[in-house]
Structure 1
């Protein structure tokens, strides 16, 4: 099965409680326009459908204000689903419904974290199609990263120190924009993490340097790239996509959800459900190379687009 090919996505409706009781609402005391936030969610749901994905939509739970950010609750690669243990205690109850869907409805191979001291947010786990990076820092600890390695022994799993990065999650500043293409946010803290990743990676990647975190927020699925609208990304980063991305694109607005830390990727658990489980492999071709700055290992210099 080719990497980044999915046939299901688990999503969850936006609860009213997100406006003023979510974890991220502490950083936005004015509260959200909850109706607008729900419209943003509905747009992403429709875009995912247009990318040939079957949607499994969960009803919102007002007891869990952040329940719409489902990506933090599980790490799914192939037919294996590792149930996460979110680093913020208020979110740990969210995994119950996700577990039921993954195990009961989709009949995935569900793996539980055994170490009681482990914490793991799915937003800290970046699957490149070839290997896995886990950001250890604010929400995910060493034991949580070890749980990822144990759940997916067929892939190289590399831990990177994310504690000194301003962002909350690894995927707030690193995302795959295509086969073998990694979008990277700006800032010396992010470049420090990038150098760690280059040092431990088993494979090279093409780097697409963006000029804001919001511009880095994207989701590559079934040969399509979902990203923010131009007004949110900025002209420069949007122009970078116009120039460099040769595959179909969909732009969405995420102004309200972003106020409480929401990202495009945080709103979905993408699933490759197969009858005969096989290792997911990258299908990078020679013609896919050459459009971006190449991944360089063992250098202290920041990477930029050619």
Structure 2
């Protein structure tokens, strides 16, 4: 799968009030350092050949730099999600104008209440989407999503998320049949036919690595996972996302890629 474009949004100062489960790090982000990390992240996407649409910071929404959550994009259509948390729900309205730059009205669809969904729960493998059933994404949204994408030749299925926040915190697809998984996701029947690497407990954050056109962006500071990815034959670029880690943010959620 080849990507040519990405959408990002600059972190806002309200980032320090972002939602967190303290799953990885019980600390407050340092805004200035988060901006530096984000700039490096965007520069890395550009180095890998992507044309990046950079949106301005939005102080109304502390978590708005995590643009992957209010929309899911693919070649044939785009779906505006319906985030479950009140503090994030308005992000879907703010992402719509930029989505309209790249998709016609008949290619844009919406998850409607009582369905709730965040893009961090949607993992693509070829033309199939695995949808995590989590506190943020419910069965009604998964049904609506399936009804939409099947019209365009895609398929979908659901996977329970029984730990943490989003599906892609615990399983990520690296193309070429390779996956990084947590011990729990390693037991999921849905993933039994993939080549799975079970990430060790002290490096779980590194599961959320990001495949871009043959290269894998890996969070800085997780040498065992980095070594495994390199041994698979992927070139690796390291990016520090330690400030975003403090509010459960990671590599995939900082961009929409298509």
Q: Normalization by structure 1: what TM-score?
A: 0.77
Report if the CA contact (8 A) 2:77-2:103 is conserved: no
How far apart are residue 198 of structure 1 and its match? Answer: 3.5
Q: Which residue of 2 aligns with 1:282?
A: none
Q: Which residue of 2 aligns with 1:24?
A: 20
Q: Normalization by structure 2: what TM-score?
A: 0.91
User: Is 1:238 matched up with 2:226?
Assistant: yes
The total of aligned residue pairs comes to 251
CA-to-aligned-CA distance 1:210-256 (integer Å, 9 cap, x gap): 22321211111112111112xx21x3222212322x13221111111
- State the SS of the aligned residue for 1:24: coil
Q: Which residue of 1 aligns with 2:218?
A: 227
How far apart are residue 209 of structure 1 and its match? Answer: 2.2
User: Is 1:259 matched up with 2:257?
Assistant: no
CA distance in 1, matches of 2:68, 2:103: 18
Q: Which residue of 2 aligns with 1:57?
A: 54
The structure that has the greater radius of gyration is 1
Flag the 1:250–1:93 CA change in 2: closer, same or farther, 3 A: same
Flag the 1:26–1:177 CA change in 2: closer, same or farther, 3 A: closer
Q: Where do 4+ consecutive residues of structure 1 move more than 4 Å?
A: 25-30
Report if the CA contact (8 A) 2:115-2:141 is conserved: yes
Report if the CA contact (8 A) 2:230-2:236 is conserved: no
CA distance in 2, matches of 1:260, 1:145: 25
- State the SS of the aligned residue for 2:99: helix
Unaligned runs of 5+ in 1: 272-306
Unaligned runs of 5+ in 2: none
CA distance in 2, matches of 1:130, 1:208: 22
User: Is 1:120 matched up with 2:117?
Assistant: yes
CA distance in 1, matches of 2:91, 2:234: 35
Report if the CA contact (8 A) 1:178-1:225 is conserved: no
CA distance in 2, matches of 1:81, 1:256: 29
CA distance in 1, matches of 2:120, 2:245: 14
